[in-house]
């Protein structure tokens, strides 16, 4: 039976509306940072549940949902109202968008990540040039920059070759990142996927993934880059994740 958004508790409807606004706005960061062309790429975010701030009395049985970009729609035409709402099975609910408006072709991958990584609140996929070039070679990006140690806690790993259409890509993402500190994975012959505590965090990881992919590529044109010692990687990661910035 298809869920109907307007029949869900008001607290859930409000959480969905706020999530749609965030996800729509964050899609603008992908072309702004040169991470996508045409309609490629997507951002999704898990809708907060009662335990994450929605009063449980208002939504005792709130379904698990996430918001994602519609498939093949121009970035210029995206708005909160066009963001598609799905269950964690990857099924679109009756969210007020036209029935013919399908969610991203990567929806099954995003849904699999949300089902199997409860700490993940946002997922991003791009075909950004340099990160995708590393993915085409099936080669991880070595941790040769303190920026990489800060952001990813080590190298950016490569995931398996998986074909779009089912949750195979999601399985590869989860298998690769489950025991890694990296918030980015280069799916072989495909491109980068990033995760985060929310969609903004995952978008930041996508921007940083492309930046280090480009820098390390340029470095290799000059010679063999020097890896950051593992002990220093650990201390840099700890400082950046827990001390750096405003808390």
* DSSP classification of residue 103: B
User: Which of 75, 76, 150, 240 is labelled catalytic?
Assistant: 150
Q: What is the DSSP string of 39-76?
A: T--EEEEEPPPGGGTS-TTT-TTPPPEEEEPBTT--GG
**Distance, CA of 30 to CA of 37 (rounded, Å):** 9
CA-to-CA distance for 23 and 200, rounded, in angstroms? 8
Question: Quick one: which of 127, 124, 149, 150 has its CA closest to 210?
Answer: 127
Q: Which of 58, 89, 166, 244 is catalytic?
A: 244
Q: Is 150 a catalytic residue?
A: yes
Distance CA 30, CA 56 (A): 35
Structure tokens at 242: 């827990």
126-194-173 Cα angle (round to 5): 105
Measured CA to CA, the distance from residue 93 to residue 83 in angstroms comes to 12
What are phi and psi for residue 23, nearest 5 degrees? Answer: -65, -40
Q: Are strands 191-196 and 184-187 parallel, antiparallel or unpaired?
A: antiparallel
10 Å CB burial of residue 66 (0-12, 13-18, 19+) is: buried
201 is catalytic: no
Q: Strand 184-187 to strand 158-159: parallel, antiparallel, or no bridges (unpaired)?
A: parallel
Catalogue the active-site residues.
150, 244
């Amino acid at each position: 039976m298809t869920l109907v958004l307007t029949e869900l508790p008001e607290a859930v409807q409000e959480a969905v509306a706020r999530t749609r606004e965030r996800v729509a706005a964050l899609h603008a960061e992908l072309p702004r940072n040169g991470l996508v062309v045409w309609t490629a790429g997507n951002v999704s975010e898990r809708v907060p549940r009662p335990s994450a701030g929605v009063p449980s009395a208002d939504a005792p049985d709130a379904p698990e949902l996430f918001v994602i970009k519609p498939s093949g729609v121009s970035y210029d035409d995206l708005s909160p109202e066009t963001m598609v709402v799905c269950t964690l099975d990857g099924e679109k609910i009756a969210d007020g968008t036209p029935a013919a408006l399908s969610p991203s072709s990567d929806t099954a991958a995003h849904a699999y990540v949300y089902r199997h990584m409860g700490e993940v609140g946002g997922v991003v996929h791009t075909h950004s040039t340099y990160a995708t070039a590393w993915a085409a070679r099936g080669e991880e990006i070595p941790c040769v920059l303190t920026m990489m140690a800060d952001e990813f806690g080590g190298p950016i790993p490569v995931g398996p070759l998986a074909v779009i259409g089912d949750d195979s890509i999601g399985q590869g993402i989860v298998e690769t990142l489950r025991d890694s500190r990296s918030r980015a994975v280069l799916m072989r012959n495909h491109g980068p996927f990033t995760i985060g505590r929310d969609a903004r965090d995952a978008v930041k990881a996508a921007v940083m993934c492309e930046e280090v992919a480009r820098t390390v590529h340029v470095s290799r044109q000059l010679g063999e880059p020097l890896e950051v010692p593992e002990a220093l990687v650990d201390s840099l990661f700890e400082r950046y994740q827990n001390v750096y910035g405003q808390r």
